[in-house]
Amino acid sequence: MHKRILGKNSLEVSAVGLGCMGMSFSYGPPKDKQEMIALMRTAVERGVTFFDTAEVYGPFTNEELVGEALAPLRDQVVIATKFGFDTSVDPRAMKGVGPVLNSRPEHIKQVVDASLKRLKTDVIDLLYQHRVDPDVPIEEVAGAVKELIRDGKVKHFGLSEAGVQTIRRAHAVQAVTTVQNEYSLWFRRPEEELLPTLEELGIGLVAYSPLGKGFLTGKMDAGTTFDSTDFRSSLPRFTAEALQTNQAMVDLLASIAAQKQATPAQVALAWLLAQKPWIVPIPGTTRLERLDENIGAVAIELTTDDLQQIDKAAAQITVQGARYPEKLEQMTGR
Neighbours of 165 (CB within 10 A): 12
Condensed to tens digits (0 to 9), the pLDDT of residues 287-333 reads: 999 999 999 999 999 999 999 999 999 999 999 999 999 989 999 99
DSSP 124: E
On whether residue 307 sits in a domain, the answer given is yes
On whether residue 115 sits in a domain, the answer given is yes
Condensed to tens digits (0 to 9), the pLDDT of residues 29-88 reads: 899 999 999 999 999 999 999 999 999 999 999 999 999 999 999 999 999 999 999 988
Residue 183 a catalytic site member? no
On whether residue 14 sits in a domain, the answer given is yes
Q: What is the mean pLDDT of residues 203-210?
A: 98
List all residues 6 or more positions away from 69 whose beta carbon is below 8 Å from its beta carbon. Answer: 36, 37, 40, 41
Condensed to tens digits (0 to 9), the pLDDT of residues 221-245 reads: 888 989 888 999 999 999 999 999 9
pLDDT of 1 > 90? The answer is no
pLDDT of 254 > 80? The answer is yes
pLDDT of 180 > 90? The answer is yes
Own/partner long-range contacts of 66-73 (Cβ < 8 Å, ≥24 apart): 66/20, 66/40, 66/119, 67/118, 67/119, 67/120, 67/121, 68/37, 68/120, 69/36, 69/37, 69/40, 69/41, 70/40, 70/41, 70/44, 70/119, 70/120, 71/120, 71/121, 72/41, 73/41, 73/44
Condensed to tens digits (0 to 9), the pLDDT of residues 184-197 reads: 999 999 999 999 99
On whether residue 334 sits in a domain, the answer given is no
Q: Of the residues 57, 128, 183, 324, which is catalytic?
A: 57
pLDDT of 89 > 80? The answer is no
Q: What is the mean pLDDT of residues 274-297?
A: 97
On whether residue 70 sits in a domain, the answer given is yes
Distance separating alpha carbons of residues 330 and 334, to the nearest angstrom? 8
CATH code at position 124: 3.20.20.100
Distance separating alpha carbons of residues 96 and 134, to the nearest angstrom? 19
> Would the pTM count as exceeding 0.75?
yes
**Domain encompassing residue 208:** 3-329
Total domains, the chain? 1
Condensed to tens digits (0 to 9), the pLDDT of residues 145-175 reads: 999 999 999 999 999 999 999 999 999 999 9
On whether residue 266 sits in a domain, the answer given is yes
On whether residue 76 sits in a domain, the answer given is yes
The predicted structure's pLDDT at residue 210? 97
CB 112 within 8 A of CB 153: yes
On whether residue 87 sits in a domain, the answer given is yes
The predicted structure's pLDDT at residue 228? 86
pLDDT of 95 > 70? The answer is no
Grade residue 91 by pLDDT with cuts at 50, 70 and 90.
Answer: low
